[in-house]
Chains A and B, each alone.
Chain A
Amino acid sequence: MKNDLKIWEDFKNGDKAALSFIYFEYFHSMYQYGIKFNGDPEFVKDCIQEVFFNMIRSGSRLGSTDNIRFYLFRSLKNEIFKELEKQRKVGLAVNETHEFQLSFLIEEQSFETEKDVEKGKALIHALSTLSPRQREIIYLKYECGMNYGQICEIMDLKNDSARKLVFRAVQSLKTAIEDHKNAYLFLFSLFQKHVL
């Protein structure tokens, strides 16, 4: 993304318009990613703020990037775990887990016919068996549109183990769908228009 390169360079040179652009473009997606590690909105907002403070502090010493979103996600995740580690050291938040909590829209979807209800249940069940790592990878891949290279760097994974995690998730959903061949769910309004 060559636009990212240019905006990033301007930001490094202290351009406030570039900073503002980056912040408003990515605040919501950073928040949505961060809140899945720790459900406390104040904590997540503090971490986002710290990511930007760090960027401003480093200024021209920052490396270059052609993918700002990837840079921000990785920095936010590092910041969250650094903060959590600090809290752990002073005896706060000892027992909390900070696994990736992702819930799915389909869990709130209502279905019309009995067949659809059955199929919906089977899909929700298949989703419920996904591990936190699988959830994170699925989120980064399908919701955020990241490629395996970026995902592996953020999650500290090897390429083939990342692919395997996704592949297994896909297969367990596929089984659920194939067991209910006769029901065709129309999931979410956005997609209803593509009737196949």
Chain B
Amino acid sequence: MRKKYNIYSVEDFTQDRRFINWVTKGARGPEWEDFIRQNPEKREDIRTAREIIESFRANEQTASDKEMYSVWKEIERFHSLHHSAARKPDLRMFLRYAAVFAFALMIGTTATYYYFRNNQNFADFNLSQPNTGDTKLILSDGEEVLLKQKETDLQFNAGGDQIKINKDSVIHRQSEGGGKAFAQVIVPYGRISNVTLSDGTKVWLNAGSHLVFSQKFEGNRRQVFLTGEAYFDVVKDRNKPFVVNTKEIHVTVLGTKFNLRDHASDDQLDVVLVEGKVRLEENDKLGLFGDETTLKPAQRAVFTKKDGKITVESDIDSQYYTSWKDGSLSFDRESILNVFSQLARYYNVRFVTESGVELHKKISGKLDLKDSLDDVMKVVSDAAPVNYRIENDKVYVTGKMMYLPMQ
């Protein structure tokens, strides 16, 4: 199939469509790697041709989403004037295109979200907050892979067509529909997962999280969709911003490290920046007000879902928010309620507390999540005035009896 490439010169390679797609988009990586192994005398020419094409990469100036939406508003209005019976775009209309592009049904709504972001919202996605079961990887062609381990590691290669599971077995999968194909990782309570995306970005997914992403990023931005909690270590690519979309907000970055926590059941979500720079924008305001908050390292933004208010705290110790990815949980004056709700996710248990327990009392400390729940609760009960009893998947918590001196 690649026979003719044996006689290609450097110049020939730089003109070849397949070769260009390999260099610029990582397409058919394994085939080219095989070709080089079988034709070692071409290695040098191929390297030179790659370097030439890579040197041609443009340094792009991009417009902001806000600019894109303000032009769209004009075009939309003009269109309505021309089509007085203009229909409102709705999900069903869009799904026709989703079908055209061979998206899976749910993924179709994901794309809807992007194209109609000013009309639709994240709720259209149906990103569920997972509870129980195994960690699940769903590939863009719909195939599901169940992963039984407590901690899983998934690595996508640059072409997005090879997935290495737990640094061991490899799945080969041509990404369906090119860059528009989405894969998903669903991490239930009691599990965590490390995912390396095709651009090299690392994502630590905490218990009770769901991430949707392109198996291979194409187009102008690297979009992912999240519910739950994740720590991102984003590979820098100034021409392709990385955007994390959640139900209420989206966070745009170029290359940074940050933690985003947004559980459906929580009243607030937060973003903690470890390194670099991120920009937070509320979804509803896109194109209207364009309010945005920019975070610097060691700052934490808290978004209150009820009123859409963003507050920023500076000089925080980011370790308290990110230690979970290394298997420990640090608290600094955190309410007992918060500690319990995090433990409930890690160990996949439910807490049943007696009414006398002071859930808003603050505690500090560090818990090792590799320990058993019983060991962890022992530590908690030393720090907080509580007693506990574990029965199956429930933890019963009662207030500690105060010592009353006998008269």
Interface-forming stretch among B48-56, B185-193, B368-376? B48-56
Alpha-carbon distance A96/B221, docked complex (angstroms): 32
Contact A28 B48 (CB under 8 A): no
A27's contact among B26, B71, B82, B239, by CB below 8 Å, is which?
A: B71
**Once A and B bind, how many residue pairs between them come within 8 Å at the CB atom?**
174
Q: Does chain B have a CB within 8 A of A57?
A: yes
B53: chain A residues within 8 A (beta carbon): 142
Contact A14 B55 (CB under 8 A): no
| Residue of B whose beta carbon sits closest to that of A29 | B220
B59-82 interface code vs A (CB 8 A; 1 in, 0 out): 111110001100110111011001
Q: Does chain A have a CB within 8 A of B89?
A: yes
Alpha-carbon distance A184/B37, docked complex (angstroms): 19
Alpha-carbon distance A57/B71, docked complex (angstroms): 17
Residues of A130-175 whose CB lies within 8 A of B: 138-139, 141-143, 145, 147, 163, 166-167, 170-171, 173-174
Q: Does chain B have a CB within 8 A of A177?
A: yes
Contact B15 A28 (CB under 8 A): no
Q: Does chain B have a CB within 8 A of A92?
A: no
Interface-forming stretch among B92-100, B131-139, B243-251? B92-100
A99-124 interface code vs B (CB 8 A; 1 in, 0 out): 00011111110000000000000010
Report if A174-B52 is in contact (Cβ < 8 Å); known contacts: A59-B82, A193-B157.
yes
A44-82 interface code vs B (CB 8 A; 1 in, 0 out): 010011001100110100000000000000000000000
B324-362 interface code vs A (CB 8 A; 1 in, 0 out): 000000000000000000000000000000000000000
- Chain A nearest CB from B39 CB (Å) reads 12
Contact B10 A174 (CB under 8 A): yes
- Chain B nearest CB from A117 CB (Å) reads 15
Contact B158 A177 (CB under 8 A): no
**Chain A residues touching B, majority SS:** helix
B46: chain A residues within 8 A (beta carbon): 196
A56's contact among B26, B52, B82, B115, by CB below 8 Å, is which?
A: B82
- Chain A nearest CB from B116 CB (Å) reads 7
| Residue of B whose beta carbon sits closest to that of A103 | B59
Contact A196 B26 (CB under 8 A): no
A171: chain B residues within 8 A (beta carbon): 11
Contact B59 A187 (CB under 8 A): no
B223-247 interface code vs A (CB 8 A; 1 in, 0 out): 0000000000001111100000000
A28: chain B residues within 8 A (beta carbon): 62-63, 68, 219-221
Q: Does chain A have a CB within 8 A of B104?
A: no
Contact A16 B79 (CB under 8 A): yes
B221: chain A residues within 8 A (beta carbon): 28
Q: Does chain A have a CB within 8 A of B14?
A: yes
Alpha-carbon distance A41/B43, docked complex (angstroms): 43
Contact B94 A193 (CB under 8 A): no
A7: chain B residues within 8 A (beta carbon): 97, 100
- Chain B nearest CB from A41 CB (Å) reads 7
B15: chain A residues within 8 A (beta carbon): 163, 166
Query: Can you report 18 residue pairs joining A to B where beta carbons are below 8 Å apart?
Result: A16-B87, A16-B88, A17-B94, A17-B96, A21-B97, A28-B68, A28-B219, A32-B60, A59-B82, A104-B56, A104-B59, A106-B57, A167-B11, A177-B48, A189-B199, A189-B235, A191-B54, A193-B200
Q: Which residues of A contact B (CB under 8 A)?
A: 3, 6-7, 14-21, 23-25, 27-29, 31-32, 35, 41, 45, 48-49, 52-53, 56-57, 59, 102-108, 123, 127, 138-139, 141-143, 145, 147, 163, 166-167, 170-171, 173-174, 177-178, 184-185, 187-194, 196
Q: Which residues of B contact A (CB under 8 A)?
A: 10-11, 14-15, 17, 20-21, 23-24, 26, 29, 33, 36, 43, 46-48, 50-63, 67-68, 71-72, 74-76, 78-79, 82-83, 86-89, 93-94, 96-97, 100-101, 114-116, 157-158, 199-200, 219-221, 235-239
Besides the known contacts A20-B116, A24-B68, A142-B57, 7 further A-B residue pairs in the complex with CB atoms under 8 A apart: A17-B89, A31-B63, A45-B71, A49-B71, A103-B58, A107-B59, A174-B48
